[in-house]
Amino acid sequence: MDLLTVSRAQGDVEALADHLRDRRVVALVGAGCSTESGIPDYRGPESIKRERRPIQYQEFVGRPAARVRYWARSMIGWPRIRAARPNAGHFALAAMEGSGLLHGVITQNVDGLHQAAGSRRVVELHGSLDRVRCLDCGGVVSRTQYQSQLLDLNTAWIERFTIQSGPGDAEAAPDGDAELPAEAMEQFAVPPCDHCGGVMKPDVVFFGENVPAETVASAWELFEAGDALLVLGSSLTVYSGRRFIYRAQKEGVPIAIVNVGPTRADEAAVVKVEGRTGEVLPRLHHLLLQS
């Protein structure tokens, strides 16, 4: 029985540790690493229970009503993202980096939890919700500052929907916003850029938007510094993450996966452990320290 068969049959973290030992490991991290911190995802086991159409880049750019809908939801959903804390998986990755067992993290997440846990070498492939950027002049402000502007401009709106203290009964959504009824979009005001009056957008990559070239370059630089790719909590449905699988296959870089449910690289993996990252990674770190 080969290593792939053993690890799939037993969920063998020891086989994973044996594979990664004495290698320069780079982690490719998806939303499954943050679900244990209370941030929902789009494609995990629970997401199939929700019908949720994420905002599209062209829709946000081309339709003022779409921007109103996004920012109204985001104003309510942001406190949940801001309050989220790293889980055991994030802390294990930071500890592995500190121990010299992990070279760095390429993350598809936009919640900043890797840095909050202490990870130092992180490429945020899809940006960060903690920043807001003007599409016209390129100016950047913190999400905290922009949240204050949203709240100040929409005092009456907030009182109308009695949601001053946070999300209330609004259902959390994966991209840091919340589900709200259609009538909640009426009379909501979106602050323009303080500098040029332009359109403000969260500094994240929306569906249908390209990852910035400089971010891709940074991700490839980190990838090339490793000799093993560890995929964590990602179904690899989105090409921006799957591209690293194609490159690893082409160059003979071994791929290991920890995920709940199937991924689009299962057949390419030399090790696949079915499990939550918050449970598997602390155990993996312990085993690697013993070598």
Q: What is the pLDDT of residues 161-219, one digit of tens each?
A: 654 334 444 444 445 555 566 666 678 999 999 999 999 999 999 999 999 999 999 99
Residue type at 89? G
SS3 call for 213: helix
- Considering 5-9, 77-81, 130-134, the range whose residues carry the highest mean pLDDT is 130-134
Task: Give the pLDDT confidence score for residue 163 in this predicted structure.
Answer: 46
Measured from the Cβ of residue 22, the count of other Cβ atoms closer than 10 Å reads 11
Residues 6+ apart with CB under 8 A from 246: none
Residues composing the chain: 291
Confidence of residue 160 (pLDDT cuts 50, 70, 90): confident
Q: Tell me the C-alpha distance between 155 and 135, whole Å.
A: 26
| DSSP codes of every residue in 16-45 | HHHHHTTS-EEEEE-GGGTGGGT---SSST
Q: Mean pLDDT across the stretch 118-126?
A: 98
Q: Tell me the C-alpha distance between 74 and 176, whole Å.
A: 6
Query: What are the residue numbers of the active site?
Result: 126
- 249-254, Cβ contacts within 8 angstroms, sequence gap of 24 or more: 253/226, 253/227, 253/228, 253/229, 254/19, 254/23, 254/227, 254/228, 254/229
221: which DSSP letter? H
Q: Tell me the C-alpha distance between 73 and 53, whole Å.
A: 13
Q: Is the pLDDT of residue 255 over 90?
A: yes
Measured from the Cβ of residue 279, the count of other Cβ atoms closer than 10 Å reads 17
> Measuring CA to CA, which residue among 67, 108, 79, 106 is closest to residue 202?
67
Mean pLDDT of the chain: 88
Task: Give the pLDDT confidence score for residue 183 in this predicted structure.
Answer: 65
Q: Is the pLDDT of residue 48 over 50?
A: no
